[in-house]
Amino acid sequence: MLTVLRTTWPLLLGILLLMVGNGMQGTLLGIRGNIEGISTTQMSVVMAAYFGGFLLGSRVVPGMIQKVGHVRVFAALASLISSLLILYAVAPHWIAWSVMRLLIGFCFSGVYITSESWLNASTSNESRGQAMSAYMIVQMLGIVSAQLLMNTADPAGYLLFVIPSVLVSLSFLPILLSTQPAPQFATMKRMTFGKLFQVSPLGCVGIFLMGGVFSALFGMASVWGSSKGLTVTEISAFVAAIYAGGLVLQYPIGWLSDHSDRRMIVLGLAVLGCVTSLATFVLDPGIWGLLLAAALVGGVSNPIYSVLLAYTNDFLEASDMAAASAGLLFINGVGAMTGPLITGWVMSVMGPDGFWIYIGLLLVILAAYTGWRRTRRAAPAQDQNFAVIAPSATPVAVEAALENAGSDDSGKS
C-alpha cells in the first residue's frame, strides 16, 4: 500500500480535494435552502437534478473524451464546476440552483471518469487493487472532511461557497501536472436491460432501490436536518456519520459476503437498515441517537450496493461483467434521480421525518424481494470476489475494481 501511495499520491490528493468540494456543496445547499425559504419540495428538485446530470454525464462524456481528449474535457468541466460553485450564492433561487446542480452533476461525472482513468492507468496490474481500495477510502474521507469545513463560516454568507470552489480548482493541479500520460479511453460494450434482468432480477431491482436510498441520504440529509431545526454542527456531524459508517463496515461485510450466500447478507443488512430507520422515526432520539442511526443506515447502504454488484457478477462470464456493471450503474442512476423527488414529497406530506419513512420503506421492499428471490433460485457459485465500490463511482472505477476482484479470485484457485 505504501508503494501505491508513493506513486499515486498526486492523483489521490486531487481526488480528495474534489470530494471535499463536492461534499460541501451538497450539505451547504440543504442548509442555505432553508435559510432562503426554499420549500422541501423545491429542494428535492434541486437535489435530484445533480443525479440527473451525473447520469447524463456518464453517457455523454466518454464520447467527448474520445473526440477531443482527456485534458481538454477535464479542463473545460473543471472550469465550469468552479464557476457554478460561486454562482450558487449569487442566485439563491430553486430553479437556478436546479439548473446549476444539473450542470455540476454532469461535470463531476466527467471529472471522475477522467481522474479514475488516470489513476487506473498509473498503476500496474499487481497494485491496481490496492490503488482502487485507496481511491474508495479517499472518497469517503473527502466527504467526511467536507462536513468539518461546514463549521468554519456562516452558511448565510459567501465564504462557504468560495471554499469548495477553491478546493475544486486546486484539485486539478496534481491531476493535470501528473507525469503519467493521459490514458487511452474505450467505451464499454453494452448489455440490454432485458438480458441484464434475466441474468439477475435481484441485482436490477436491488440496485434501483439502493439508488433511491443513496440519493436520499446524500441529497436530502441536510434538507431534513434543516427542517428539523438542527444546528450546522449537528447537520454536518449527521452527514459525516453516514459516510463514516459506510467506510467502517464495507470491508467486514465484504468478507462475509465472500464466505456465505450474498442474498442472506443483503437481506440481513436491509432488515437492519429498515429497523433503524423506523425506530428513528418512532422514537425521535436526541443527537447522539441520530448519529448512531446515520452510521448504521450509511453502514448498511454502501455495502449492499457492492454486494449486489458482486452477486450479479457471480452469474456472468468475466467478459460480460463490465457491460453488466455499466447497465446496473444506469439503473442505479435512474433510482437516484427519483429518490430526492419522492423523499421531498413524503416529507411535505408527513413532515420532516418522512425522510426516515421513505428510506425504511425502500429497505423493506428490498428485504421482501430478496427473501422471495431466495425461493426462486439456488445460490450461485461465487466466482467473483467482493469489490468495494461507492454508489457514486463511474464505470471506469467499477470496471477496474471488478477486474482486480476477478484476478484475486483466480489467484486463489
Q: What is the pLDDT, as a whole number, of residue 95?
A: 94
Least confident of 12-21, 155-164, 266-275, 340-349: 12-21
pTM value > 0.85: no
Measure the CA–CA gap between 331 and 43, rounded to whole angstroms: 23
pLDDT at 408 exceeding the cut of 60: no
- Tracing cell 480528495 back to the chain, one arrives at 16
Measure the CA–CA gap between 386 and 258, rounded to whole angstroms: 6
Mean pLDDT of 206-224: 90
pLDDT at 243 exceeding the cut of 90: no
Q: Report percent pLDDT > 90 for the chain.
A: 28
Mean pLDDT of 4-28: 80
Report whether CATH 1.20.1250.20 matches the domain 2-179+189-412.
yes
Helices (H), 258-376: 262-283, 287-313, 318-350, 354-374
CA nearest to 218, candidates 50, 2, 69: 50
Q: What is the pLDDT, as a whole number, of residue 231?
A: 92
Radius of gyration of the chain (CA): 20
